[in-house]
Amino acid sequence: MQSKIKIRKKYVPKGLTVLYDDRDIIVIDKSPGLLSMETASEKERTAHNLLSKYVKKGNPKSKINLFVVHRLDQKTSGVMIFAKSLEVKENFEKQWKNVEKKYIALVAGHFKEKNAVFESYLADGDDYKVRSVSNPKKGKFAKTKYKVIKEFKKCSLLEIDLITGKKNQIRVHMSENGHPIIGDVKYGSKIKGRLALHALSIKFKHPFSNEEMLFTTEQPDFLQLIK
Which residues form the catalytic set? Answer: 73
Instruction: For residue 113, give the 3-state DSSP assignment.
Output: coil
Identify the burial level of 59 via C-beta atoms within 10 angstroms of its C-beta, where 0-12 means exposed, 13-18 middle and 19 or more buried: exposed
Distance CA(12)–CA(18), nearest Å, equals 7
Distance CA(122)–CA(140), nearest Å, equals 5
Q: What are phi and psi of 115, to 5 degrees?
A: -150, 110
Q: What are phi and psi of 88, to 5 degrees?
A: -65, -45
User: What secondary structure letter does DSSP report for 163?
Assistant: S
Beta bridge partners of 216: 201
